[in-house]
Amino acid sequence: VRLRTLLTSLSYSGKEIPNLEANIDSRIHDLLKLIRQESVEGKAVDFAKLAQFFTLDVLTEIAFEKPFGFLTQNTDVFEYISEVSAFLHILELCCNFPTVQKIISSRILAGLKPKPTDKTGLGAMLGIAQGVVKRRYASDAKYHEDMLGSFKKNGLTMEEAEGESMLQILAGSDSTATAIRMIFLYVLTAPSVYAKLTREIRAGATSPTVKTSDARAMPYLQSCIKEGLRMWPPLAGLLTKVAPEGGETFKDTFIPPGVEVCWSPFSMMHRKDVFGMDADVFRPERWLEAADDSNKDVLNKMDRTLDLVFGSGKYGCLGKTVALLELDKVFVALLYDFDWAVVDPVTPIRTRCHGVHVQTDIWLRAYPRSVK
d(C-alpha 258, C-alpha 242), whole Å: 5
Contacting residues for 236 by C-beta, under 8 A, at least 6 apart: 264, 265, 266, 356, 357
d(C-alpha 209, C-alpha 219), whole Å: 17
* Smallest gap from residue 258 Cβ to ligand HEM (A): 17
Give the count of residues interacting with ligand HEM (CB under 6 A): 20
| DSSP β-bridge partners for residue 353 | 357
Considering only 234, 306, 328, 335, the residue that binds ligand HEM (CB under 6 A) is: 234
Q: Which residue is nearest to ligand HEM (CB)?
A: 319
d(C-alpha 179, C-alpha 329), whole Å: 13
Following DSSP, what letter does each residue of 284-314 receive, concatenated?
A: THHHHHHHHSS-THHHHHHHHHHHGGG--GG
Position 179 contacts ligand HEM (CB under 6 A): yes
Q: How far is CA 179 from CA 156, 206, 293, 326, in A?
A: 30, 25, 28, 10
Contact mark string toward ligand HEM, 238..277, x via CB under 6 A: -x--------------------------------------
CA of residue 118 relative to chain centroid, distance:
26
Toward ligand HEM, which CB reaches closer, 314 or 352?
314
Q: Which stretch binds ligand HEM (CB under 6 A): 148-156, 165-173, 209-217, 364-372?
A: 165-173
Number of Cβ atoms within 10 Å of the Cβ of 52: 25
Position 311 contacts ligand HEM (CB under 6 A): yes
Considering only 10, 88, 95, 167, the residue that binds ligand HEM (CB under 6 A) is: 167
Q: Which stretch binds ligand HEM (CB under 6 A): 19-27, 218-226, 246-254, 305-313?
A: 305-313
* Smallest gap from residue 186 Cβ to ligand HEM (A): 14
**Site for ligand HEM, rule CB under 6 A:** 59, 167-168, 171-172, 175-176, 179, 234-235, 239, 309-311, 315, 317-319, 322-323
